[in-house]
Amino acid sequence: MSTESLRIVWIYPDLLSTYGDRGNLLILAHRARMRGMPVETLEVRSDQRLPTTADIYLVGGGEDGPQALGAQRLMADGGLHRAAAQGSVVFGVCAGYQLLGRSFFAKGTQCAGLDLLDLHSDRGASRAVGELAGDVDPRLAVPALTGFENHGGRTHLGPEVSPLARVTTGVGNDGVTEGAWRGKLLGTYSHGPALARNPALADLLLRWATGAGQLPPLDDSWPEKLRAERRAAVAARQ
């Protein structure tokens, strides 16, 4: 950790906050505070400089225009590249996941991404909307991913990243894999408050940020009930 407290930055809520993206910031802060960690949260608007010394950076979802604009401003700012190079955690969701790659499509044109993850995105034949589930890369040691996806893009992974999960329901990157990770950078199509249904993934990000091998367990009975209910709902439809 960079300072006395865990510093979490929410990048450009004015551009990249389509639907409940604030949730990931609230969930990480809540789970850290429940372990007695002091937390500082920062919401950095797109006309402000990005601090380079925070522990976790969150990039949320957005419409095409804001996504392209957000990528441009992040590249001009350069702060996220420096933070990632210094070992900060970066968590991207949906449009925020796409813009961590080499390129993505917005408003019908190819846009340059931040090139932090070895992947690129193009347009799918149809929009992927609905429940998303998958078995997470065993090296990450977290239980199955569950979420809701809503995106028109398809993402193609290069050799330098690993898929976050193998899809069991929904589309994710391409119907086979979902999300990607490398080092302490992680992205997913599970949109909005993705961590609400995946508390173990939230704790993985906290462990990466703090270097802690283990975190004291929390009472996760409500998130577990939610996960079980979603799992049953998906199974009932198949």
Partner 1 sequence: MPLRAKVATSVSRTAAALSRAAGRGDGSVIGGWIGLKIDPDLLAHLANGRAIALVSGTNGKTTTTRLTTAAVGVLGPVATNSFGANMPTGHTSALAKAGDTPYAVLEVDEHYLPQVIDATNPRVVALLNLSRDQLDRAKEVAMMAQLWRSTLVQHPDIRIVANADDPMVVWAVTPPSARERPPLVTWFSAGQRWHDDSWVCPECGSSIERSGEQWWCVGCPLRRPQPHWLVEDDGVLDPTGAWHKISLQLPGRVNLGNAATALAVAAQFGVRPVDAVSRLGSVTSVAGRYAQVVRDGRNIRLLLAKNPASWLEAFDMADDAPTLLSINARDPDGADTSWLYDVDFAPLRGRQVLITGDRAYDLAVRLEINQVPFQHVRRFLDAVTAVPPGRLEVIANYTAFQDIRAELDRVN
30 is catalytic: no
Q: How far is the CB of 26 from partner 1 (least distance, A)?
A: 5
Reference 167, options 146, 142, 197; nearest CA is: 146
HEC letters along 17-43: CCCCCHHHHHHHHHHHHHCCCCEEEEE
Q: How far is the CB of 73 from partner 1 (least distance, A)?
A: 10
Nearer to partner 1, 85 or 232 (CB): 232
Nearer to partner 1, 4 or 47 (CB): 47
CB 118 within 8 A of CB 141: no
Nearer to partner 1, 119 or 199 (CB): 199
CB 238 within 8 A of CB 169: yes
131 Cα distance to chain centroid:
16
191 is catalytic: yes
* Separation of alpha carbons 39 and 187, rounded Å: 23
Q: How far is the CB of 93 from partner 1 (least distance, A)?
A: 10
* Separation of alpha carbons 57 and 234, rounded Å: 31
Q: One of 94, 111, 120, 151 is an active-site residue; which one?
A: 94
List residues near partner 1 by CB under 8 A: 13-15, 17-23, 26-27, 30, 45-47, 63, 65-66, 69, 129-131, 148, 150, 191-193, 196-197, 222-223, 225-226, 229
Torsion angle defined by CA atoms of residues 57, 213, 117 and 31, in that order, rounded to the nearest 10 degrees: -30
Q: How far is the CB of 22 from partner 1 (least distance, A)?
A: 5
User: Which sequence positions are flagged as catalytic?
Assistant: 94, 191
